[in-house]
Structure 1
């Protein structure tokens, strides 16, 4: 759930998504019987959360990564209208964001066992209205970032400040720690961290802190302060520092172990005239050397050809989604660039997949392929043409596609059970 401007109209513009240009390729079917896939085979699987947002229930699909020709509907019911899915230790975790309060499920984390007919092992609330964004599971603890912790009166740290990241015991759903970045935020009278994506490096959890907006409704999306990366020590469950960024509005983060660097996506703001990335100096990809966090490197989005809204990492490469929005046609488009992990300049980022319609999530499998969830949207046309495309990460060639899915895929998880 790549949810950047929750409860704001412009946020929903960002979420609208895409299709791919015409290419001769293998087209997948949708199966309705889990027996069509052997979940005990030890194979690598790709899981997809698909949704039209609003109050409708989401769908959970899956495929064997070695068989692009068959997707299967898991049949899981009562999923929420928006979710972020991940695999940990053979279990599939579904984190439901805020979404529509009339949605079948929201503001909770649900644990499914794929090898037991996707039975629900547990389901726990993150707090009414808290709008959880991302999570990391360590043993029996889930670290969950909350975009709107202030909506839950009970979500306070020891000093009475909103808990931007909660630590939940997955055995019983109890929150054992609430961590607030309040004292690190820009003192503008608003002071909301807007905690977003996270990445775990060793025992340190790095959290995107957007820290934008004011109490003035007209400037609710104003990016008036540098973004930050909060640092949590998971051995003590305490905040050990904050990294200040050159850029603003961090929306995604990945890690290179070989280079010991973080790569952070910084999304420039929207206006009534489209996306403003060419006119502001603080969007793009920021590189943080973890051995010297005071000297970061910002690659401006102007040099990447679009506002940067998501990243992925695999096979010593960073995958960068650079997008554009045309306010006149209401059309979103996206290109994917790739950069070797040692890259530190715009010239190191090269085109992998040319600009096409907008995409919602990407994932890299073990076969050096990139899975992409898309749909089309433009003026006079509701979101349409949902599909999943699969590309070779070395050649950029399209190797498979599924145009039979009913609603757009917005979250992808890949791994073995």
Structure 2
């Protein structure tokens, strides 16, 4: 990488708040049952890979610092359109278009806990978790879907957000819990998938009611809400995501120190040289994969701070970063679209992998890596 990474990172899915069709015996090769918090690795990477055309997916693990790989660690839990979040001792695989479920894995043992349907054609995109309650942002639903992990066979609940879009489906792309406040990013897409706004809806989870909303600087939030520092979230926007080199948008800031509100752009796409793909924060520094070609065959990894952007890529020229995760032990993990695998960088900026790590299938396009 050539540039030292910022120190003191937290898990990529840690909240800035203080507390924030598969059988149960479906096991793959299985990661070390001791788990990263016992006598095993100091951190574990959970990564989903997919072959969209063949209709298959995998959930694989990489242990740090050993770089030991377990391909297809929990068999049958990842579809051909998966993303992954980690909260506490649970791994959540969100199986999206055409699969419509959330699969829960025990992070410490690597075993399947449950798979819960979000409903036909809901197209779930992201989850936030409060106790046994799983809140789901869904692209094909007019509500935030509410699942009960303690009662997985129960019919899903719903928090109505349909009034935010004239077609009744506001296109929720991401969701994040800060204290008792749930933030839901919506893209307000029309029938031609053109965004007519970018908005965040705020829900009070003490009674699951909508209590407010605010506009983002740009239309079309395309990334996930991710924590930056103690009092901020960031989310990527791209008004024309199919033309990365010219699309208006930015990495947007959301102030969550009090009542959640928009806080402007941390870095514009024009200054980044493309649109933001994956990203993760280490303290106040955001490491972001930037797509720099309209044919999606070139990219770079940059560090973004309040002072500006390091526009020289932190990776070798041959690497095409697509997704990014930060580990609590200081490593940064990226997907390399050119090589079809993962690369790991130490806190000093040096690459720890000699070649891209094969996880069994090409890594998911974005939001497919978590590390705890």
Q: Give the TM interval when normalised to the shorter protein.
A: 0.7 to 0.9
Q: 1:89: how far off?
A: 3.5
Aligned to 1:196: 173
1:409 to 351, 363, 367: 363
Structure 1 residues without counterparts, runs of 5 or longer:
1-19, 21-31, 100-105, 150-161, 377-384
Cα gap change, 1:402/1:276 in structure 2, threshold over 3 Å: closer, same or farther? Answer: closer
Residue pair 2:58, 2:77 contacting (<8 A) in 1 also: no
Moved more, 293-302 or 88-97: 293-302
The RMSD of aligned alpha carbons is: 2.8
Greater Rg, structure 1 or structure 2?
1
Figure out how many residues of one structure are paired with residues of the other and give that number: 334
Aligned to 1:316: 284
1:139 to 118, 131, 136: 131
Q: Say if 2:220 is the partner of 1:249.
A: yes
Aligned to 2:324: 362
Cα gap change, 1:391/1:292 in structure 2, threshold over 3 Å: closer, same or farther? Answer: same
- Higher percent of residues as helix: 1
- Higher percent of residues as strand: 1
Q: Say if 2:90 is the partner of 1:122.
A: no
Cα gap change, 1:356/1:236 in structure 2, threshold over 3 Å: closer, same or farther? Answer: farther
Cα gap change, 1:205/1:51 in structure 2, threshold over 3 Å: closer, same or farther? Answer: same
Moved more, 297-306 or 70-79: 70-79
CA distance in 1, matches of 2:201, 2:31: 44
Aligned to 2:250: 284
Q: 1:276: how far off?
A: 5.5
1:167 to 121, 125, 146: 146
Cα gap change, 1:212/1:399 in structure 2, threshold over 3 Å: closer, same or farther? Answer: same
Aligned to 1:41: 39
Q: 1:113: how far off?
A: 3.0
CA distance in 2, matches of 1:203, 1:179: 15
Residue pair 1:50, 1:408 contacting (<8 A) in 2 also: yes
Aligned to 1:92: 91
Cα gap change, 1:349/1:123 in structure 2, threshold over 3 Å: closer, same or farther? Answer: same
Aligned residue runs from structure 1 range 2-401, under 5 A = 33-34=29-30, 38-39=34-35, 40-41=38-39, 43-77=42-76, 79-99=78-98, 106-113=99-106, 115-116=108-109, 118-149=110-141, 162-163=142-143, 165-173=144-152, 174-175=154-155, 177-185=157-165, 187=166, 190-213=167-190, 215=191, 220-223=192-195, 225-252=196-223, 253-258=225-230, 260-270=231-241, 275=243, 277-278=245-246, 282-290=248-256, 291=258, 296-298=263-265, 299-326=267-294, 330-340=295-305, 343=306, 347-348=308-309, 350-351=311-312, 353-354=314-315, 358-376=320-338, 385-395=339-349, 397-400=350-353, 401=355
Q: 1:243: how far off?
A: 1.2
Cα gap change, 1:300/1:119 in structure 2, threshold over 3 Å: closer, same or farther? Answer: closer
Q: 1:312: how far off?
A: 1.3
CA distance in 1, matches of 2:361, 2:219: 32
**Normalising to structure 2: TM-score of the pair?**
0.80
Residue pair 2:288, 2:324 contacting (<8 A) in 1 also: no
Question: What SS does the corresponding residue of 2:293 show, helix, strand or coil?
Answer: strand
Moved more, 242-251 or 176-185: 176-185
Residue pair 1:352, 1:393 contacting (<8 A) in 2 also: no
Residue pair 2:319, 2:337 contacting (<8 A) in 1 also: yes
Q: 1:349: how far off?
A: 5.2
Q: 1:37: how far off?
A: 7.0
